[in-house]
Amino acid sequence: MALIGALVFALLVAPAMKGRLSSLSGVRFRYEFLLPIGLLLQVVPRQVFSYLERGDIGAIALFSWLAGGFVLLLACLLNWKYVGCRLVALGVALNGLTIVLNRGMPVAADSLEYLGLTQTDQQLDALTPLYHLSDGDTLLGVLGDVIPVPGPQLVQSVVSLGDLLLMVGIVVIVLDGANALLRVRAS
């Protein structure tokens, strides 16, 4: 949801920065079809699996996220000239490192409490199979989902440093593609 929010934000801000959304059609990514495939591999299974019984689907969600991360990294490496792609790659790499080391993304209970999820059962119900509460065995917990994002229920979440880099990268890609960044630098 945060990635969609970043995209919507960028699309709303670009015209305010004198950018032209029509210029986005002129942006030429190499192997651009990899971007939606990578995002879908990461996002869709997590949402689908969150409605199913937990069982062994955590391993499937983990594999799907890692496969999507690999595809996104490949797409970003092929488009390295775009600063936004570099930020997205760094965000995916940080999240991937954290997920691999912890066999899922650790989520800080304090951050969930900040959002009003104070009971352990509420916190566990809020997590999809790829996520688990941080504990004493968590490695690089600071790179996990530790940053609470308050707001209406639809926007509320807990994000990681990698997620923030991904969101900023998406915004930079859109603003750069709309030539909004050029216009800001020229003024």
Count the alpha carbons within 13 Å of 170 in the hemisphere toward its beta carbon: 21
The pTM of the full predicted model, rounded to 2 decimals, is 0.85
Q: What tens digit of pLDDT does each residue of 169-184 get?
A: 999 999 999 988 765 5
Does residue 85 lie in a domain region?
A: yes
Radius of gyration from C-alpha coordinates of the chain: 17
Report CA-CA distances (Å) from 158 to 41, 60, 74, 99, 134.
20, 22, 26, 15, 13
Taking the CA atoms of 136, 119, 153 and 61 in sequence, report the sign of the dihedral they define: positive
Residue 105 forms beta bridges with which residues? 131
pLDDT tens digits, one per residue of 67-115 = 999 999 999 999 999 999 999 999 999 999 999 999 889 999 898 888 8
Q: Does residue 51 lie in a domain region?
A: yes
Domain of 16 in residue numbering reads as 2-181
> Does residue 187 belong to any structural domain of this protein?
no
Give the pair of three-digit tokens for residue 144: 């996990």
User: For residues 4 and 10, what is the distance between their CA atoms, to the nearest angstrom?
Assistant: 10
Residue 186 lies in a domain: no
**In-domain check, residue 102:** yes
How many CA atoms does the CB half-sphere of 41 hold within 13 Å?
20
Count of domains observed in the chain? 1
Write down the pLDDT at residue 113.
85
In tens, the pLDDT along 123-169 reads 666 666 778 889 999 999 999 999 998 877 777 888 999 999 999 99
